[in-house]
Every structure is written in structure tokens, then in C-alpha cells.
Amino acid sequence: MAIAELTTPELYREELTKPGVVVIDFYSTQCPPCKVIAPLYDAIANKDSNKTIRFFKVNGLIEPGSTIQREAEVVWWPTLVVYKDGRETWRAKVPNPPSIEPVRELERLLDEQDW
């Protein structure tokens, strides 16, 4: 399943008004740690056990992604954020140099929850 890009603040807000779980990868195309975690994020999104979870990406380097990023109070790339029924429930920044541990934390969180 392809991960959709949230391309307007309205789409971002609309997704948060829907019931269920949303995971967003706030990234930049010029961020080396973002490139390291991208395939891992894709793999999590494509797990059968996560088929009811909606996965998105927001490119904060360009508009309107930078507006969405400000609205979400994200100040670092990459940042992974989980929302449940519109409320933020988890957030992690991937450090530079990159570590895959925040991505593994996300995977464990999604695996342990009964969404």
C-alpha cells in the first residue's frame, strides 16, 4: 500500500477528524536520516497487522508541508507522530546521525496496541 502525502493543511485536519489511528512521518527530501528510515516506515505501513491504520508523510521542506508541520508543532526531521481519534498519543524524533530505534519503537507500539 502506498503511503499518501498530505498536501494541504485541510487534508491534514480532515484525517485527524476521522476515527481511528493515523501515523505521520514528517520529513524533508534533503534530510539523510529521513532517507534511512523511509524504507522501514514503508515496511511498517505495509504490514498486514497495520491495515486498519492510515499512514501518511508530510514534506516539511516545502509549502504546504511546512504549514502542516508548524500546525503539528514538529521542529525536527524526521519526526514520527501517532494520532488516535484526532489526539496525539505518541511522538519520536529520529536523531542525526540516524538511529532506527525510534522506528522500532513505533513498530512495537503498533504491534502491542489493540486498535
Catalytic annotation present for 34: yes
Q: How many CA atoms lie within 13 A of 109 on its CB side?
A: 19
- Active-site residue (options: 21, 22, 24, 31): 31
- Active-site residue (options: 22, 34, 72, 106): 34
Using DSSP's 3-state secondary structure scheme, residue 92 falls into strand
> Starting from the edge strand earliest in sequence, which strands make up the sheet with 79-84, in order?
4-5, 54-59, 21-27, 79-84, 87-93
Instruction: List active site positions.
Output: 31, 34
